[in-house]
Amino acid sequence: MRSLFASAAIVLATAITAFADTPPWQKPAPAMNAQHQQAAAQIAKIVQSSNAPLARLGFNPLTTEWDWQRGQRSTQPMSNMTQAGLSGILSGRYYVYYDPFAKADGGLSVNYMAPDGTAYRCMNWKNGYREDRAKWSAKQSAMGFAGIQKLAGGKDGYGWPTVYNSGTGNLILYGYDGRNWHPTPGHVQNEYAPAFAELCPNLPRVANVNQAQTSTDYATFRRQAPGAAIRGAGVVFPSNPSNPLTAEMYYALYPPQLQ
């Protein structure tokens, strides 16, 4: 599997316009809990009050190829932040994460998300650590609201599915391996860390140093300073990153003809 952020040629970059054979509202509803149902109801209320309801949730459900890539679109997590909200929590801060698509060793990666749209990237890569720069922005996600887009080149497109938990500060992106969506554990913080300097000495230092954050293992890094993650940012609807609301859940409850 390739890194979620290593290639500019992302699969979410192009809208699919072919009609699907089996949209979610024509199939048995997937298993859902009360939180999923409440989140879907919140989205439907927003969509129904919009002048262009279908445009607010990314791809048009009536023309999306739901079975594309073994059902990738159906099972895609619904992003739960606005573009302004997602951009606001990222801009001028450090986005720290573990990318299992790149290397299965738990090692952290970090990006300084500069306000000018430059992402200074320090990536745990196959043969060690790699530093480079890319563009970043908060873009409309293919399903739901806003997602993070980080590209090595100038190609535009949709944001990757992104779910934020305002209580824990977890900011989770999802990557697709051809069969399933997988979470990329992460968070955003204000402070620089000694671990960043050890891994990538060219990463910009724009804030105070949290001396407790010395580990290069992501899980340990979080435990060393549990209060460092930015919490409390607004979301459109609450979602559990480990069991998020998906597109097929939402459209099974609220078919587009009812919106």
Domain spans in the chain, listed from the N-terminal domain onward: 33-259
Instruction: Look at residues 78, 75, 77, 122 and name the one whose alpha carbon lies nearest to residue 102.
Output: 122
To the nearest whole percent, how much of the chain has pLDDT over 90? Answer: 66
Q: Which residues pair with 79 in a beta bridge?
A: 144
Q: What does the pLDDT read at residue 80?
A: 96
DSSP letter, residue 119: E
pLDDT band at 170 (very low <50, low <70, confident <90, very high): very high
- Which pLDDT score, from 0 to 100, does residue 120 have? 96
Per-residue model confidence (pLDDT) at position 231: 97
Instruction: Please state, rounded to an integer, the average pLDDT across all residues of the chain.
Output: 87
pLDDT at 53 over 80: no
Report whether pLDDT(247) > 60. Answer: yes
Amino acid at 57: L
Query: In the structure encoding, which two tokens stand for residue 221, read together?
Result: 């890094």
| pLDDT for the residue numbered 67 | 84
Tens digits of residue pLDDT in 73-99: 999 999 999 999 999 999 999 999 998
3-state helix, strand, coil split of the chain in percent (to 5) is 25, 25, 50
CA atoms within 13 A on the CB side of 55: 3
Tell me the residue length of the chain. Answer: 259
- Model confidence pLDDT, tens digit, residues 10-22: 344 333 344 446 8
Output the pTM of the full model: 0.87
Look at residue 225 and tell me whether its pLDDT is greater than 90. Answer: yes
User: Which pLDDT value is given to residue 250?
Assistant: 96
DSSP category for residue 30: P
Instruction: List the one residue out of 94, 123, 128 whose CA is nearest residue 213.
Output: 94
Other residues' Cβ atoms within 10 Å of the Cβ of residue 2: 12
Which has the minimum average pLDDT: 51-65, 201-215, 229-243? 51-65
How many beta carbons lie within 10 A of that of residue 80, not counting itself? 30
Q: Which residue bears the tokens 């804030």?
A: 207
Higher pLDDT, 18 or 153: 153
Q: Phi/psi of residue 21, each to 5°?
A: -80, -35
